[in-house]
Amino acid sequence: MKDYIEELMAQVKAKNPAEPEFHQAVQEVVESLVLVLEKHPEYRHAKILERMIEPERVIMFRVPWLDDNGNVQINRGFRIEMNSAIGPYKGGLRFHPSVNLGILKFLAFEQVFKNSLTTLPMGGGKGGSDFDPKGKSDNEVMRFCQSFMTELYRHIGPNTDVPAGDIGVGAREIGYLFGQYKRLKNEFTGVLTGKGLNWGGSLIRPEATGYGSVYFAAEMLATRGETLEGKVCLVSGSGNVAQYTVEKLIELGAKVVTLSDSSGYIYDEEGIDREKLDFVMELKNVRRGRIREYAEKYKSAVYTEHDPSLDYNPLWNHKADCAFPSATQNEINGKDAQNLINNGVYLVSEGANMPTTLEGVNIFLENKILYGPGKAANAGGVAVSGLEMTQNSIRMSWSREEVDRHLQTIMKNIHKTCVETAERFGVPGNYVAGANIGGFLKVADAMMDQGVV
Ligand code: NDP
């Protein structure tokens, strides 16, 4: 089995050069799947894993647009349609200058397992562009979104591929994208999720990823007879996921002491309360400012500028009980993971996708902390996207309470799947193996049923 994995990883690297994030995501999954492939040679025989690491389709396109000065700008657009064995492709769009093929392939690959864990019928996909919405006017963002959708619209549809938001794609961008799709297709359908409430969106969708990650953390703590009440929490990021993670943590009586953006982070030893969170939401969602301003307004907070010369992130070096990485991939390296453990952190719930390097993951597993990997812990976002698709199909809108109840049940079920699967395969308490194997089995069985396609 060791030879098989080494050979597979060598092939992945040779066939997908210069895509380190994709290699990392595959490596983590493959290591967990050894336990399954040993028990089920039929999956190996049918080359299920080899098929899963090859996207069903990759679309890459030019996105030309005019800036406010009348200059021509050109970005690159992508959509990775990774796997449709259990439902239409589903996954977010990311607009960020760091976006490239390898990053989107890692995200699409993870999405397949995550969507399977939600119990809803959704395949996996991901897309986006190297466009940077930061510093652009609303009109520039609109023109970019319209140009992006002018190509993407022919590849997606409510029964084919249903994109959503991710980094840099929030309510504003989804609105512009949806408007252009509707215009081109002359159809009002649920082709995107994260829509506005009065045109097909679902209540709780903006909150879902952050709330879900906290619900997942609460489930993990419950296995040790504990709750979030009074826990000191480190949260990174200050976007959609981070904001609603903090909101739910405050509601459950925890004390959040950090937030960040790509320029730096704030540490507020008195804790971020409701009023301070409202300030952050206005700062980030309306004024589109920097987190530094938090420390200018609240004297209990200290701002630390991002220092690229450091080989660790000081945000993860404070005394705390729980950590909720909610910014981006690989924001916790081996040193950060060790710092977290040394500072007393014994629960990590990943709101972001793959925020921890492989070295960091191994440190969490060796220390046997409660470690909820992103594909399980942040699945609440796509789960409520799935509920938005259901509401669109039946042309009904559910109440806030109803959607939240579904979300809580789904997060409980994902947690249960992880725990039970890890136990069944002889690695109790290992949520990484539980999530990877639990997500894999459903997709693998569907692929077996559907033949070699
Ligand atoms: P937002 O764009 O709303 O916020 C992203 C936050 O992370 C911002 O504070 C941003 O700072 C910071 N950030 C982004 N890139 C970097 C970087 N390279 N270094 C440091 N900080 C960075 O995105 P979301 O909150 O939606 O997404 C956050 C994470 O959660 C991502 O990993 C995403 O894939 C994941 N996720 C999101 C879901 C959703 O429903 N939105 C669902 C599941 C996972 P700045 O403003 O300076 O760029």
Q: Choose which residue among 241, 281, 310 to substitute to test ligand 1 binding: the one with the highest number of ligand atoms within 8 A of its C-beta.
A: 241
> Given the CA of residue 107, which atom of ligand 1 is nearest to it?
34
Q: What CATH code is assigned to 2-188?
A: 3.40.50.10860
Length of the chain: 453
Query: The domain 208-372: what is its CATH number?
Result: 3.40.50.720
Q: Would you say the CB of residue 240 lies under 6 angstroms from ligand 1?
A: yes
- Determine if ligand 1 sits within 6 Å of the CB of residue 165: yes
User: What residue segments make up the domains of the chain, in order of their start?
Assistant: 2-188, 208-372
The mean pLDDT of 69-85, rounded to a whole number, is 98
Instruction: Please give the model's pTM, rounded to 2 decimal places.
Output: 0.97
Q: Give the angle subtended at the CA of 182 by the CAs of 179 and 187, to the nearest 5°.
A: 155
Place of tokens 């004024």: 287
147 CB near ligand 1 (under 6 Å):
no
pLDDT single digits (tens) 80-132: 999 999 999 999 999 999 999 999 999 999 999 999 999 999 999 999 999 99
Q: Convert the pLDDT of each residue in 254-270 to its tens digit.
A: 999 999 999 999 999 99
3-state SS, one letter per residue, for 391-430: HHHHCCCCCHHHHHHHHHHHHHHHHHHHHHHHHHCCCCCC
Query: In testing the pocket of ligand 1, which one of 134, 216, 328 has its CB within 8 Å of the most ligand atoms?
Result: 328
pLDDT digits (tens, 9 = 90+) for 140-158: 999 999 999 999 999 999 9
Residue whose CB lies within 8 A of the most ligand 1 atoms, among 106, 134, 166, for a mutation test? 166
Residue of the CA atom closest to atom 15 of ligand 1? 328
pLDDT tens-digit profile of 213-242?
A: 999 999 999 999 999 999 999 999 999 999
Tokens of 388: 């938005």
Please, is 71 exposed, middle or buried when counting C-beta atoms within 10 Å of its C-beta (0-12, 13-18, 19+)?
exposed
Looking at residue 328, its pLDDT comes to 97
Q: How far apart are CA 184 and CA 174, in angstroms?
A: 15
Question: Which one of the listed residues 126, 231, 248, 284 is annotated catalytic?
Answer: 126
Residue 123 CA to residue 100 CA, distance in Å, equals 21
Q: Give the Å distance between the CA of 36 and the centre of ligand 1.
A: 33
Give dist(CA 99, CA 103) in Å, integer.
6
Note whether 280 and 272 are within 8 A (CB). yes
Task: Say if ligand 1 is within 6 A of residue 328 CB.
Answer: yes
- According to DSSP, residue 285 is labeled I
Ligand 1: does its nearest atom lie under 6 Å from the Cβ of 327? Answer: yes
Give the pLDDT score at 1.
82
Assign residue 288 a region (left: φ > 0; alpha: ψ between -120 and 50; beta: otherwise). left
Closest residue to atom 42 of ligand 1, CA basis: 381
Q: What is the pLDDT of residue 2?
A: 84
CA distance 46 to 69: 55
Other CB atoms within 10 A of residue 3 CB: 7
Examine domains 2-188 and 208-372 and report if their fold is the same: yes
Task: For residue 220, give Cα distances in angstroms to 28, 216, 348.
Answer: 21, 6, 10
Alpha-carbon gap, residue 349 to 192, rounded angstroms? 27
Which H or E element spans position 176?
helix 171-185
Catalytic, 416? Answer: no
CB of 380 closer than 6 A to ligand 1? Answer: no
Reading phi first (left if > 0) and then psi (alpha if -120 to 50, else beta), residue 129 is in: beta
The whole-angstrom separation of Cα 211 and Cα 246 is 9
Distance CA 133, CA 212 (A): 26
Question: Mind listing the pLDDT tens digit for each residue in 269-319?
Answer: 999 999 999 999 999 999 999 999 999 999 999 999 999 999 999 999 999
